[in-house]
Structures are given as structure tokens and as C-alpha cells.
Amino acid sequence: MIDFDVIDELIYDWVSTFSGITTIWADDNSPKPDLPYISLRKGTVTPIGHGYISVPTSSGISKISGDRDMIVNFQAYGNNAFGKLENLWHVRLDPGSQELLYIGGLSLIELFALTNLTGLNDTLFEGRAQMDLLFRFVSQRTNIDVGLIETVEIEGNLKEPDDTFNFNVDLT
């Protein structure tokens, strides 16, 4: 089973480390921080293709795995919000950034859009921008008891053009 708390922490650490500004989760029920800051929200998680089950061990234990895509929404608030998100997209090429995500089992795949959402807040315009990033990871469930076939007995006839052979196979 994938632990989304671990993924959340990894994405949070990646953003706060490589953006250099305050990072929060959008649905955190806490006071809004001072500007500038970036809020994060997980969007959709989509399976890619079909899952697969590993060959069982000698005791009949297997793993079920599957690749997943996850969209995370980023919103930056404050001066140069658009630039802060653009920078975060480009930092994916930084070896330290790649290593942090790799160690955590995440791959950053695609930027869908970077949108300027600057708007009026009371009497002043507040810089605001949004981007959606696509991450990929493997979801895995371990210790699945699929059981074992311990004995197979087969009886039958094998016909050759001129003869018939009887046989017995015991796969114990």
C-alpha cells in the first residue's frame, strides 16, 4: 500500500527546499502565512496500464504493483508568483532536486500549464500563479498470500501416427 503521507512530505520538502519560500498544504486549516508562499494540493491519482503480480516465493507470497500518475496543484502568492513557479519547474533539472525525488520514488514527468492568476485583494493587486505538475510513482502491496500448487497429477494418452502411449506424470 502506498503511504501518501510519505509522498506529501517528499513533495513538501522538495518545494520548500528548492523554492526557498514558505510552503503549505492548501487544506491544512491553519492561518494564511505572510507573503510570499506556495500552497500545494493533490489532485488526481490515475493508474497507468494494468497492475502486475510478481512470481510467488517458495512459500506462496507475492507482491502486487502498478504505476500511478499523480497531479499536484501548486499556487504561488506574492510578488513574482509566476516567476517563482517557473523557477520551480526548471529546478527539476538540478541534480540535487532529481536525487531528492528519486530517493523518494517519485519522478517529475510534465508541466501542464503555468497560469497567471493575479487578482485584486482588497484594494491592491496580489501576485498569484498556478501550475499543475504530473508526478509518477509505483504503488505496491506486499505479502499477498497467493498460495502454492504443491501436487499435480496428470493421466492421459499420447497418440502418435501408428502407436498410442500411456503415461503418468507426478509433479510433486
Three-state SS string over the chain comes to CCCHHHHHHHHHHHHHHHHCCEEEECCCCCCCCCCCEEEEEEEEEEEEEEEEECCCCCCCEEEEEEEEEEEEEEEEECCCHHHHHHHHHHHHHCHHHHHHHHHCCCEEEEEEEEEECCEEECCEEECEEEEEEEEEEEEEEEEEECCCCCCCEEEEEEECCCCEEEEEEECC
Q: Structural domain of residue 97, as residue ranges? A: 4-170
CATH number at residue 164: 3.30.2000
Q: What is the number of domains present in the chain?
A: 1
pLDDT of residue 146: 82
Is the confidence at residue 133, as pLDDT, over 90? yes
Give tens-digit pLDDT for 137-154.
988 887 888 888 777 777
Is the confidence at residue 132, as pLDDT, over 90? yes
Q: What is the pTM of this model?
A: 0.77
Give tens-digit pLDDT for 58-103.
888 888 889 999 999 999 999 999 999 999 888 988 899 899 999 8
pLDDT of residue 53: 85
Instruction: Please state, rounded to an integer, the average pLDDT across all residues of the chain.
Output: 86
Give tens-digit pLDDT for 41-70.
999 999 998 888 888 888 888 888 899 999
